Amino acid sequence: MDKESLKKSLELTKRNKIAVICYTVTIIILSAAYLVETIKHTRSVPYFIVFMLLLWIPGIFILVFNKLKSDSHVTRYLILFGFAIPWGYALFTATSDLVFTYALVIMIALNAYADRDFALRTTFLYNTINVVSIVLKALGPGIAKEDIASVEIQIMLMLLCGTYNVFIAKTNAILNSGKMHQIEQEKNNTAALLNQIITASGEITNGIAEMTEKMKSLDEAMERTCCAMDEVNTGTGESAESVQTQMVMAEEIQNKIEEVSGHTKAITASVKKTREAVLAGDNNMKNLENEVERSKKSSEEAMQELAELESYTQQMQSIIELINNVADQTDLLALNASIEAARAGETGRGFAVVATEISNLANQTQSATDDIQSLIGNINNKLDDVDKAIKSFVAGSNRQHEVAITTAESLETIKSDTGAIEGNIHGLADAVAGLSEANKTIIETVQNISAILEEVAAHSNETYESSLNNTATVNEVMVIVEHLEQEAESLRQEMDEE
């Protein structure tokens, strides 16, 4: 059997299969419907049995025949007449005019053959049976006036369906013919394409040979790439470990810098407090220096007052001596007066009393003068003590003044040095801050380098794996290329044989 016959046989088998399936489904549905009618007692059991035999005897025969010869042209006629028998029986014995619609289903199913002549025969057969049933009904019991319209519809519907089936079958045949012509053209085009494929296959074979050489070179290059990436991966791993070590050391340095920064801050605070204390001491020393200066002035004033007081006591001593002289003269005059009174007798007795009183007064004056002189002597002694004490105080005040000046100068030096130390500490703090920022920058740089190295390592691993995959792919491509080369050679040989 040639290819064309085989193609037609396969096509007919498909059409027979579709028609048989539609036919089988139809008789199954009709069997179920009439079974329901029998159960409802609208159909008798004998009628049901006869109808089932008329349906299934041809149906079983058609199924078996199609199973044995699926590509036979007889199958369509078996379906046509096999269904016409039970349909005619139902149409002649039916009480409902709608039984004629059963044939419409089979007419549509048989249109699967797309055969205009067969569709015309189908239309003729079923329309003839339909018209005969109507004529017999009209000759027998007759057709009522109200049923005439239904009869006309029945005849017209059957004729229209049949006519449409014929047209559809013809259209399908034309389309199939066009498709066959198109298929023939496509076959010719395919033949030309095959010739081009043969020509191209030769070129492909040559290209495949060149590709094989290139793939071998690529395979060798990929192997070298794998070795190089392995070395890069190893070096990157060592660099990453070194960078990690540097990063740990940088972090330790950062910790030390933070400790130094903390100590620097503490020293700054202490120096600041010291400077404040020095400033307070300087102010206190200035106040003390002022107080000492005032004390010195007061001591000098006291010395002057003591000198004046000593002068006054000397003057008092002179006055006392004068009083003593006056008292001695008075006492002498009293003695002389007493002597003269004694000489005078009774006449000088009053004068003697006065002389006695003057003598007593002179004695009292002498006694008071002695007491005053004693007090003045004590005052002089005390003034000497006070003078010595004031001189000692003045000497101490002078020494305190000198010490205060020296202490003030020392405090001024300490204040200056403290300011310098504070400035140096601020400079040190700035340097530590700058060092901290620089170390942080170093840490960030090391971290970036570490991340970059890790990324490079990851990419190198990916590249290494990709290289391995590419090597495997190259090997697979070489196998495919060899297979394509064999297939191209086989195709060329087959085309040469044809």
Cβ-contact 354, 340 below 8 angstroms: no
Q: Which CATH architecture has domain 232-494?
A: Orthogonal Bundle (1.10)
Which residue has better confidence, 246 or 140? 140
Question: For the residues 463-491, what does the mean pLDDT come to?
Answer: 72
Q: Record the tokens describing residue 283, joined without a space.
A: 């102010």
Residue ranges per domain, the chain? 3-143, 232-494
Give Cα separations from 424 to 199, 264, 410, 458 (angstroms). Answer: 93, 11, 20, 49
Flag the least confident range among 12-16, 100-104, 118-122, 255-259: 255-259
pLDDT band at 351 (very low <50, low <70, confident <90, very high): low
- The residue among 293 and 239 whose pLDDT is bigger is 293
- Residue 127: what pLDDT? 92
- Given this model, what pLDDT does residue 238 score? 65
Indicate the pLDDT class of residue 342, thresholds 50, 70 and 90: confident
Tell me, what's the pLDDT at 243? 54
pLDDT tens sequence across 175-207: 766 665 665 666 666 556 556 655 656 665 666
Cβ atoms within 10 A of the Cβ of 119, count? 25
Question: How confident is residue 86, by pLDDT bands cut at 50, 70 and 90?
Answer: very high
The whole-chain average pLDDT of the chain stands at 77
3-state secondary structure 434-472: HHHHHHHHHHHHHHHHHHHHHHHHHHHHHHHHHHHHHHH
CA 458, distance to chain mean position in Å, is: 21
Q: What is the pLDDT of residues 368-383, one digit of tens each?
A: 778 877 887 887 787 6
CA distance 17 to 198: 40
pTM score: 0.39
Q: Decide if pLDDT at 65 tops 90.
A: yes
Polymer length of the chain: 498
Q: What is the C-alpha to C-alpha distance for residues 330 and 363, in angstroms, rounded to an integer?
A: 9
Looking at per-residue confidence, does 472 or 20 come out higher? 20
Q: Which residue has the higher pLDDT, 16 or 281?
A: 16
Between CA 302 and CA 49 the distance in angstroms is: 167
Structure confidence at residue 78 (pLDDT)? 93
Identify the helix (H) or strand (E) that includes residue 303.
helix 145-344
Task: Determine contact, residues 439/253, Cβ cutoff 8 Å.
Answer: yes
Mean pLDDT (whole number) for 243-256? 70
Other Cβ atoms less than 10 A from the Cβ of 285: the count is: 22
